[in-house]
Amino acid sequence: MPYEKLEITTPAPVLSWANHPLGAEETKMAKNVASLPFVFKHVALMPDVHLGKGALVGSVLATKEAIIPAAVGVDIGCFTGDTLIPLVDGQSYTIQNLAEQDQEFIVYACTPRGKIVAAKATARLTRRNAPLVKVILDNGREITCTPDHQFMLRDGTYKEAELLQPGTSLMPFYSQIDKDGYTLIAQPYSSRWQKAHWIIARSGLLGEIPKIEGQRTIIYHRNFNESDNRPENLEFMGNRDHSAYHRSLIECNQHWHSPEFEHKRVTSLAEKAKTLEGYQYYAERGTKNILRYMEQQPEHFRNAIAGNGHRGKQYLVEYNKSDKGRVKSQEIANRYYTCEICGAEVKTPIGLHNHRRKEHQCNHKVVAVLPLNYTEDVYCLTVPEYHNFALTAGVFVHNCGMCAIKTSFTGEQLEGKLKKIRLDIEAAIPTGFNENKDVEKSVTNWQRWADFKDLHRGVQDLKGKAMKQMGSLGGGNHFIEVCLDTENQVWLMLHSGSRNIGNNLAQCHINTAKELAKMAGNHLPDSDLAHFVAGTPEFQAYWRDLQWAQDYARVNRDVMMARFKRIIEKHLAGGKSIKPLLQVNCHHNYAEKEVHFGEDVYVTRKGAVRAQTEDYGIIPGSMGTKSFIVKGKGNVHSFCSCSHGAGRLLSRNKAKNLYTLDDLIEQTKGVECRKDSGVLDEIPGAYKPIDQVMENQADLVEVVATLKQVMCVKG
């Protein structure tokens, strides 16, 4: 059996993946937690388990109708089974149907800057009999979801469904089929329509886009269905090769090549040219052909148009003065165009542009959020790279962020640059107790600052500090690292949380829970196990603040990773922006509602990572050892969890007393990092051997990538 059932007498068993005996204090802490009456099934201890506050760091517990605020967490919202998800094959499917298929598929996702991309995803049932709200949009669509599910706002941030207000602007997803049958997607960042098959290609799902000598690269749909943009249906071709291919098909069909068919084709084209749509189509095609001709045969073009201005001027002047010319000018000035968003008829292209900006601002708006008086089973998607996905209703929502990205750079490109990179990072990202001198725009624009006034009264004087700390690393075991995988590919990794504001919020609620326990006469084995009961005002207040703090932590990591990435791009790509090959985000101190063993429970992962099937996670070692990118195996006995790192072997004080600076220099050999007394407590020897930790949880996760640190910034 991969885990050990500890020989301790408690109402709930304790299962350990640590593969070593617990110390006396650790055993006492495990017994205290397992003795709580609301613990469900058992307590699971991960391989990195060690002493913490109230509960062991590296412990996972499921509880019924109660939660312990010593753990910081966030809930993951979900949708009812009939919610429609648009896939790149041109069809929409219910989220329940996708979950039942139990396979990977491709959805549309959106970057924080409003660029729509294609990404791989999976679906699953996440909660049974969940409470619900209905979100009504200005396009008439309705979305039924849990109150806590996060919707992507127009500025790229997120807000829970129950906190959305009428008029709130959401990130839009507009799609349509053009006259040739191709799927078009409106890009929010540019307000331009883009063909979906090129979105697939530029998302990297077809491999590198080839340059075909003497030809323009196009994308061919193998099954002749232009709206089916699954990667397996798409193929790069040269435009001339593509035309030749279609001619060969015609030659195989004599009917298509017959005089009768040709007559019908020419007649049909002539009729099409008489319509407004046909005229516009041929005008656009003719313009492209002329521009191509001008570019490819410039000498011939100059000879052909020599004297055109003189010859044509008199005819153009005469036409504009004629009755026919005046009628044509008046017709163009009064022509109406249809808004593809709301269907309104608007005069002139400029009028249509102004209408879109005024009425839609290239987004959807919330009309209302209504609580519902019934519950349903709910589902969600996992989109590892972008952590959001589009709904057929026309908006993007968050999926169920330690943070890491895989880049296209290689180790050779880092040679001689690591120290400069570290110094630039330390100058750009405050560490320890330091904070940003100025608050950048991306921080001040975070929409959840509007909710700060609703947080616990004990933190109301900390808003200014919280704003200056967003985009700062902190101290302790927080880090920023450049790593190399076994294929010499460069990874960027960082670990940070909700900073001082999150700590203060947690302490406020822990104190409240302790006061309530004292008033009720509850005799707990450890006062840090004071808890809130579901349905009480204190529970609701804690859950609300918990979600805000977790959102803060996520945005804090996003701000730092953006700065980190720009520094790497400056040194390795001359400042040119690069697209990550893979992005991984995972929380490791949090609580959420989940279904385990057929029942709804609150799962608290204190220093642990969720490892449901196909969940991506990060398990770092220490300053001088390996780290791992993993995928979860969905082990039910661990409540689908794994460790969040190697785990401490020595306390910080013991590490400082046992090791010297010479030891630190030796154990971090080959790593560009600080080597002074300020980080001695983070010496690799203070942590458990990461290889042993990984061996102990082979039944919990599979390794996707093995990383080795080559640069590390500590607080």
Is 251 marked as a binding-site residue? Answer: no
Range of weakest confidence among 194-198, 557-561, 579-583: 579-583
What's the confidence (pLDDT) of residue 573?
A: 92
What's the confidence (pLDDT) of residue 401?
A: 38
Amino acid found at 122: T
Q: What is the pTM of this model?
A: 0.57
The residue that leads in pLDDT, 287 or 220, is: 220
Q: Torsion angle of alpha carbons 50, 51, 52, 53, nearest 10°?
A: 160
What's the confidence (pLDDT) of residue 384?
A: 65
The residue that leads in pLDDT, 42 or 252, is: 42
Is 178 marked as a binding-site residue? Answer: no
In angstroms and rounded to an integer, the radius of gyration of the C-alpha atoms of the chain is 30
What's the confidence (pLDDT) of residue 76?
A: 42
Residue from 364, 387, 587, 644 carrying the catalytic annotation: 644
What does the H/E/C string look like for 218-274?
EEEECCCCCCCCCHHHEEEEEHHHHHHHHHHHHHCCHHHHCHHHHHHHHHHHHHHHH
Bridge partners for 539 per DSSP = none
DSSP string, 345-411: EEESHHHHHHHIIIIITTSEEEEEEEEEEEEEEEEEEE-TTTSEEE-TTSBEEE----EEEEEEEEG
Q: In the predicted model, what is the mean pLDDT of residues 413-434? A: 93
What's the confidence (pLDDT) of residue 487?
A: 93
What's the confidence (pLDDT) of residue 72?
A: 38
Give the tens place of pLDDT for each residue, 378-393: 888 877 667 789 999 8
What's the confidence (pLDDT) of residue 423?
A: 95
Rounded Cα gap, residues 184 and 232, in angstroms? 19
To the nearest whole number, what is the mean pLDDT of the chain?
85
What's the confidence (pLDDT) of residue 323?
A: 86
Is 480 marked as a binding-site residue? Answer: yes
Instruction: List the one residue out of 403, 384, 712, 385 whose CA is nearest residue 556.
Output: 403
Q: In the predicted model, what is the mean pLDDT of residues 585-595? A: 75
Interacting residues of 488 by C-beta distance below 8 A, sequence separation 6+? 410, 411, 412
What's the confidence (pLDDT) of residue 257?
A: 58
Burial letters for 333-361: b for 16+ Cβ neighbours within 10 Å, e otherwise?
A: eeeebeeebeeeebeeeeebeebbeeebe
Vertex 201: Cα angle to 198 and 206 (nearest 5): 150
Give the tens place of pLDDT for each residue, 472-507: 988 777 889 999 999 999 999 998 888 888 888 888
At 525, is the pLDDT very low, low, confident or very high (cuts 50, 70, 90)? confident
What's the confidence (pLDDT) of residue 581?
A: 83
Q: In the predicted model, what is the mean pLDDT of residues 662-688? A: 91
| pLDDT surpassing 90 at residue 538 | yes
Burial category of 134 from C-beta neighbours within 10 Å (exposed 0-12, middle 13-18, buried 19 and up) = middle
Is 481 marked as a binding-site residue? Answer: yes
Is 246 marked as a binding-site residue? Answer: no
Is 538 marked as a binding-site residue? Answer: no
Amino acid found at 300: H
What's the confidence (pLDDT) of residue 201?
A: 95
Range of weakest confidence among 248-252, 274-278, 545-549, 574-578: 248-252
Instruction: List the one residue out of 604, 608, 638, 427 whose CA is nearest residue 528.
Output: 604
Domain residue limits, the chain: 4-74+400-649+687-714, 187-192+201-356
Q: What separation in angstroms does the CA of 444 have from each of 341, 455, 474? A: 30, 18, 20
Instruction: List the one residue out of 469, 477, 442, 482 whose CA is nearest residue 562.
Output: 442
Q: In the predicted model, what is the mean pLDDT of residues 81-89? A: 95
Instruction: List the one residue out of 110, 108, 99, 98 whose CA is nearest residue 205.
Output: 108
Name the strand (E) or helix (H) holding 323. helix 323-333
Q: In the predicted model, what is the mean pLDDT of residues 17-29? A: 86
Q: In the predicted model, what is the mean pLDDT of residues 7-24? A: 88
Lookup: tokens for 275: 């319509």
Rounded Cα gap, residues 649 and 50, in angstroms? 8
CB atoms within 10 A of CB 140: 10
Is 645 marked as a binding-site residue? Answer: yes
| pLDDT surpassing 60 at residue 425 | yes
Name the strand (E) or helix (H) holding 337. strand 336-338
The residue that leads in pLDDT, 402 or 655, is: 655
Q: Are 411 and 694 in contact (CB under 8 A)?
A: no
| pLDDT surpassing 70 at residue 258 | no
Amino acid found at 263: H
Range of weakest confidence among 130-134, 341-345, 369-373: 341-345
Q: What separation in angstroms does the CA of 316 have from each of 284, 307, 309, 328? A: 21, 14, 10, 13
Query: Residue 468: left (phi > 0), alpha (psi -120 to 50), or beta?
Result: alpha
The residue that leads in pLDDT, 305 or 705, is: 705
| pLDDT surpassing 70 at residue 309 | no
Lookup: tokens for 136: 């009504």
Residue with tokens 């790069």: 236
Q: In the predicted model, what is the mean pLDDT of residues 435-442? A: 89
Q: Where in 101-197 does DSSP place strands (E)? A: 105-110, 116-137, 142-145, 150-152, 158-160, 169-170, 175-177, 183-187, 192-195
At 345, is the pLDDT very low, low, confident or very high (cuts 50, 70, 90)? confident
Rounded Cα gap, residues 42 and 14, in angstroms? 6
Vertex 405: Cα angle to 383 and 446 (nearest 5): 70
| pLDDT surpassing 50 at residue 569 | yes
Q: In the predicted model, what is the mean pLDDT of residues 352-370? A: 74
Rounded Cα gap, residues 292 and 216, in angstroms? 11
Instruction: List the one residue out of 490, 470, 468 whose CA is nearest residue 481.
Output: 490
Lookup: tokens for 560: 């730092």
Find the DSSP H helices in 573-681. Answer: 652-658, 661-667
What percent of the chain clears pLDDT 70, i.e. is strictly above it? 93
Is 620 marked as a binding-site residue? Answer: yes
Rounded Cα gap, residues 688 and 49, in angstroms? 10
| pLDDT surpassing 90 at residue 91 | yes
Fold of 4-74+400-649+687-714: tRNA-splicing ligase RtcB (3.90.1860)
Q: In the predicted model, what is the mean pLDDT of residues 350-363? A: 66
Is 714 marked as a binding-site residue? Answer: yes
Is 478 marked as a binding-site residue? Answer: yes
Give the tens place of pLDDT for each residue, 610-646: 888 877 888 988 888 899 999 899 999 999 999 988 8
Sheet of 192-195: strand order equals 175-177, 183-187, 192-195
Burial letters for 611-635: b for 16+ Cβ neighbours within 10 Å, e otherwise?
A: bbebbbbbbbbbbbbbbbbbbbbbb
Is 622 marked as a binding-site residue? Answer: yes
Q: In the predicted model, what is the mean pLDDT of residues 238-261? A: 72
Is 75 marked as a binding-site residue? Answer: yes
At 568, is the pLDDT very low, low, confident or very high (cuts 50, 70, 90)? very high
Instruction: List the one residue out of 419, 614, 581 whose CA is nearest residue 485.
Output: 581
At 280, is the pLDDT very low, low, confident or very high (cuts 50, 70, 90)? confident
| pLDDT surpassing 70 at residue 587 | no
Instruction: List the one residue out of 647, 636, 660 whose CA is nearest residue 44.
Output: 636
Is 255 marked as a binding-site residue? Answer: no
What does the H/E/C string look like for 502-551?
HHHHHHHHHHHHHHHHHHHCCCCCCHHHCCEECCCHHHHHHHHHHHHHHH
Q: Is 644 a catalytic residue?
A: yes
Q: Round to the nearest angstrom and report the end-to-end CA distance of the chain.
A: 40
Range of weakest confidence among 2-16, 248-262, 413-427, 585-599: 248-262
Q: Torsion angle of alpha carbons 159, 163, 166, 169, nearest 10°?
A: -10
Is 70 marked as a binding-site residue? Answer: no
Is 66 marked as a binding-site residue? Answer: no
